[in-house]
Chains A and B, each alone.
Chain A
Amino acid sequence: MDNISLLAIDDERFNLLLLEEALKSEEISVTTCTSADKGIELIKANDYDVLLLDVIMPGIDGFELRKIIRESRPHLPIIYLTAIVDTIDNSLIEKISQDKLTYYMRKPFIRDDLVKMIRSTVAKRRTEEQTKELYTGIMEDLALAAEVQRLLIPDWVILNDDVIVSSIYEPSQKISGDMFDMIPLASGKYFFFIGDIAGHGVQAALYMSAIQSVLKMIIGMGNWEITTHEVLSRLNWVFCTELGQEKYMTCMVGIFDFANNELEFFNAGHPNLAVFNPATDTVELLNPGSKGGIPVGWDRYYEYKEEDVIKYKFSDDSIFFMTTDGTFEISNSNDQMLGFDKMIQLLDSLVHDQDSAIIPYRVREALPQMGYSVANDDMTIITVKKIVSDQAGSGRKYWLTHPMVQDVNKLCADCEKYVADYTGNAELSVKVELILGEFLNNIVMHGLENSQQSRPGILVQIKVSDKDVTIKILDKGKKWSFNTSPVPPSEDIWNKDEQFATSGRGMTIIRSIASEISRNRYKDLNETVFKIRRQQG
């Protein structure tokens, strides 16, 4: 054991001399003092491993001294050396045991017993400190691993000319064994993958990171015609031979062809893919006959066959839903799980009124409201919807911006141009730009703390109708409430008292332009909607 640093406080010099002699050959460096005041000074200035105290001292007893010491040294072990035999009501023992790190030994002491007690007390304390440091270090490493993992999976929203994908990704511990990805192939085609490693925590997350790399390698390899069953067969082989057979993975892989509105996918033991079908106005399961294969990792020689591939023709307004089983295995206080069927019901109730981008967050927000708050596994919910081209003709368009001022300003200018081109109304388009500029800059500067420079993205949607322009903003900023009441035209935003205010006008300007403002928060996603009435005539 490393050298022990000890302070002994006793008003009797004789006792201190005994201690110095008793401990001098034991790799214990002993400091002594005869007064409590001097002792307190020494404790503040030095980092002792253990204290030896007398219980009875002139002016202050050992327990009062302990109280003072604990203010600056809450974890310093104290050994009382006392000649007192306990009182009838055991009050001495009681006082000693009020503090977890207090021990005692009778005077006159037996040297070997004292040395043993000093050593074991200090060893216990050092072990506890090391364990605490180790735990803190592990938690910091896990937090960092979670950050890194977050960077490996797509941002909460993906938007391009072909598709909008929204996702909520929630590890049950700091890091997750779920994974999903959307890899562009060519001309409107995208390879998607959603997977769930059995179990969760660090091991599952490491497997998932490896799978992601292997998958990208398989997709990127050479000029082969990528098919879902062939990708799975290759992935299965690598999983079984390179990653070991302790784990397995349920997953679904597929190829979206947004140019031709076709989907083909393969289910390897994963929860079913569901789709909102506009023709029937309901959410349907896409694999009622349960075609598919076994989870990846069960059998290295298993071949995923073309006959188990499912093909589906979808429409422009179809919305696809994917999830991992942690979502519907969430349970209530009676240990009843939500269940897949109820989850589909929930999706079906939301899909008619909501943008696809917000649905995963509305579902997640609803679960504890329904009583389901015991999450047993990682949860992932994804929606995928085609972006219809020629958005200008529909009067509805999405934009996605990084949360950086220069990108936000460009988005505002693009939105202004879109509205100006669509409506021919310059004043209306300037109002749109002003609202967006003020609000988005507020989010960037105040709403997103400690975020990566390029993530999370902020999604903006503009819808133009005959009556109004609706601006919807979805962001992952902090929870922030503000007055959403419009400022009536008669109200003076340059009132005399605040005429020279040089800041704080942004929200007032927004409220003076917008005829309606609403704000909601679903899980950690803010939805803010502004409407600007169009002047008639």
Chain B
Amino acid sequence: MQLNSYDKNGITVIGIEGRLDSSCASMLKTKFKELSAKQNNFVLDLSKMDYIDSTGLGAIVSCLKVVSEASGDVKLACLKDKPRMIFEITRAYKIFDIFDDLGAAVESFIQ
């Protein structure tokens, strides 16, 4: 898995590329911890994420938990077909706002 992060209109975007699973979920948590020291609102760009398992889900949930305590949020954008199915199967959409478009996800914070 590879991670990259950048600022878009004052919101931090984290791009996840590859598989987010038990072998690398801790990387996301570590990266997020560093970034959340300065920012509370994030969009995860999942346009290149191929697969997610329960450990990967747990890592994203932990990100949400961290910023929620500071009244921030983590939104998800551009799920590919397979992870989208996984989110639907696991009903993870119940706690995450999911957008088809990265711009719309960022916009939703500003509005």
Contacts and interface: CB of A to CB of B under 8 A. Distances in A.
Interface residues on A, range: 20 to 34
B31 interface: no
Contacts of A494: 91-92, 94-95
B8 interface: no
Nearest to A416: B82
A405 B65 contact: no
A509 B65 contact: no
A75 B19 CA distance: 59
B11 interface: no
A159 B5 CA distance: 44
Contact of B21 (A409, A431, A509, A512): A409
Contact of B55 (A430, A500, A503): A503
Nearest to A441: B22
Contacts of A493: 90-91
A406, A500, A512: residue with the most chain B Cβ atoms closer than 10 Å? A500
A438 interface: yes
B65 A502 contact: yes
Contacts of B61: 499-502
Given A405-B22, A430-B86, A500 B68 contact: yes
* Dominant SS among interface residues on chain A: helix
A492 B91 contact: yes
Given A426-B81, A493-B90, A438 B95 contact: no
B58 A502 contact: yes
A77 interface: no
A129 interface: no
Interface string B57-71: 111011011001000
Interface in B40-62: 51, 53-55, 57-59, 61-62
Contact of A509 (B68, B85, B89): B89
A427 interface: yes
B23 interface: yes
Interface in A481-527: 492-494, 499-503, 505-506, 509, 512-513
24 contacts: A405-B22, A409-B23, A426-B85, A427-B89, A430-B82, A430-B89, A433-B51, A437-B53, A438-B54, A445-B22, A493-B90, A493-B91, A500-B61, A500-B64, A500-B65, A501-B58, A502-B62, A502-B65, A505-B54, A505-B58, A509-B89, A512-B89, A512-B90, A513-B89
